[in-house]
Structure 1
């Protein structure tokens, strides 16, 4: 009777070391009894052979009857593996649990990337729409509908977009969205006036439609009619249109510190390695805690793939650098120039960039506690006209 390699692995195999003057006779007698022997080697009174665990009783009786001593040198096969694993139950349980965790992590969505929207509001709209239909970080991929249905569901909850594409690779979902193109704004054809939006002094006014009712160098207040849609001579009212450039004053209160703290790297660093499973990180190397007053961290993460499938298990290297702080003293003259620049940026923010700086004046400069305080008056030229309902003649 012979055993296959699979049967040896399934039922177990023993490697025996035999000693005695009748080793050769004992092995020959075992073969006569039909016991399969493998890798038989005999050198005088010493012999080696491999037997199946199922034939151990026959080998034991034969060796005793022939006064041949034997010793088990090695054990192979599933029964011995099972016994070793049972001795290390915690290790076996951990290995099985690790495989289960990897499988569970790979069947969930752990990252959602959104491309296409031009601003944060568009990204937030797509995120809310995806969350409404059930696509969010931590969701099981098996609970999501097919991509075509998912795209239509997201698009139905995002009215500002004309097309949405969804592609899931591994545990990463990519959403591409195409926003709607804003149409040309329709011109207001109803009769109306052009009035002042803010107090200013008129510098230049030109009307393409309507009647100019103010003069250059005239001070106007908010709501005052600049170009009227009421034409003289009893003519029909028209929608007034034109450009009104006026001088406007803006006041900005600016604070500039004379001492500025700057940070720099000393070169000292500490390295740490993490095993990343989904959103969880397990530190496996670099347990020393740095005694740095301040640190700067730089991360480098792998992107292991099997084909196009991104594995949920990655490796991350983190290096923590020591940071030193230095103080830079700024002169009052440089601080004043910085204050003028900050005031200019403040005015450009208020006017939306559609203005021209005419001049700047510094009011009430003061240096106290290492800080420069200034009130800057900025003169700008901008269009102050806005549409308003036509007033009664």
Structure 2
């Protein structure tokens, strides 16, 4: 490589295009300033390309306005351009690598620890032990013990723990523990599930011990398991499940109420009507012309004539009509309905117990029948449907 080529390589050279009507005077002025121009090629009458040194670019830019020429950069060679390209790519690669490192650190940092199923005192003890193992929020999970090892250490170091599950979910640890009971002979501490005593829709769950199997708004059948005493499906870790499952249930109540209050609302006007009955034939005799526009309550009495054991085929039927005040009659029926609802609600509350709550009622049917008011009601109740079902140790 000649000295001139080495010099151009280290200083850098540029291939440019010059456009304008005064190209020759413009180039002569640049040469007078000491510029070295090579590889000149005329493309058009007012357009030419050429090679200059990088250090002369400033001179060309200063003179172009005076001679009204336009300069365009076509490319560059030499060490300065090579260095600039390497620098740009290096910065890009460094930013990319830095972003990968940040994402890696964020994904491998422990952000939260959640402990459930334990008393506050025992929960604080577990968290203290976790810190001693190097497991705490803000630390990298790289180098931390495996969840199974953490589980084993907690069971060894905390005697009050019957069982603890350690699960790593993303950037958090979720622990569920069961505290040891001190009276193992107590019947109420035998392994047991919670099952549904009756059909209902779940409105609230509160499971102190055990593995919940249902959620709010689930519809369960009688005998369906609500919470399991088996904490892990494939392990024989059993506890006595405790808690409540409040469900919405419905009760149908029939009420038969006397209509004495209603029947006493007649205005005292009495009309008698007489009919003669001969077999199945009825012949009106008196009072059949009463006003049909009014409402009446009636009482009917029929004779039963007999003589020496012989029954007469002819009988006299007497019907007494009492006029009714419809306004008071309807008001009295409404009072009887309210009384029936109140009586049914109190009876149902006594049957269910204090813990159950009667939410509302609905009248399904109301009619008068044989001197009584028949009332059919439907009550919506919130009650605890969970009952204990002991687990057979041989299963």
Q: TM-score, normalised by structure 1?
A: 0.34
TM-score by length of 2: 0.34
Rg larger for: 2
